[in-house]
Amino acid sequence: MKKKTIFFKDLGVKEYKVTWIYQKKLHNTIINNKNNNNIIGYLLFVEYYNHIYTIGQNCKRYKHLLVSEYFLDQINAYLYKIDRGGDITYHGPGQLVVYPILDMNYFFLDIHKYIRYLEEVVIYFLYKYYKINGIRIKGKTGVWIINNKQLRKICSIGIKIKRWTTMHGLSLNVNPNLKYFDYIIPCGISDCKMTSMKKENISFKEVKYLLKQSFENIFNIECI
């Protein structure tokens, strides 16, 4: 089967609001040109230099935020209510955040299958290149690992689909400061503990290259 071609953009280190606006611009471009557009999609990689908490549409503003907005100001963190599914999560230095903006008419029209594909990208990436056993947990979205007999989450997923075009995506904990997750109930899961790839002592350049390859393999695409 011939591989589909999508555009890959490594945005480098950015401020959250800038990339949110950019996502919406690309998302709207695909939606507004569906009848005469052969752009299948984009794959965006980004790192954030500041500390950000985003709240999805499934979460009331303060329900799973464990500190005050004054406290967030004191630690130079920002809070955004955004248009994705899911609950509250953290983004910051040491994470690789991935935004696939895809016209799903070229793939399949199944939201749950799409989420499972995103999970599979990360599971494939972790094991193939780093021999880390990522797993799924029934009834919960994301990728988890068992660390010292404890279940910990290494990748969070939150998406939006409008007219079968995706935006938002996943965040992979490469080597973030995990204390910032202590200020929230991640993804609204009360017993959710977070972990990262930190012990692997790897570079972001390598992670980006290999994760892009994993997307290409799982989605049968070519990134240009």
Cα separations (Å) of 153 from 28, 69, 141, 174?
32, 25, 10, 12
According to the annotation, is 39 in a ligand binding site?
no
- Is 163 assigned to a binding site? no
Is position 89 annotated in a ligand binding site? yes
Annotated binding residue at 169? yes
Non-local (6+) Cβ contacts of 208 within 8 A are 10, 45, 96
| Active-site residue (options: 59, 155, 187, 192) | 187
Residue 134 labelled as part of a binding site = no
Residue 59 gets the label, from left (phi > 0), alpha (psi -120 to 50) or beta, of beta
CA R_g for the chain: 17
Question: Does the annotation list 156 as a binding residue?
Answer: yes
Q: Is 137 annotated as a binding residue?
A: no
- Annotated ligand binding at 139? The verdict is no
Q: In degrees, to the nearest 5, what angle opens at C-alpha 93 toward C-alphas 28 and 77?
A: 80
The reply, when asked if residue 91 is annotated as ligand binding, is yes
- 187 given a catalytic annotation: yes
188 marked ligand binding residue: no
Residue 63 has a CB neighbour count (10 Å cut-off) of 12
Which residue ranges make up the annotated binding site?
84-91, 156-158, 169-171
- List residues with catalytic annotation: 187
Which residue ranges make up the annotated binding site for substrate?
84-91, 156-158, 169-171
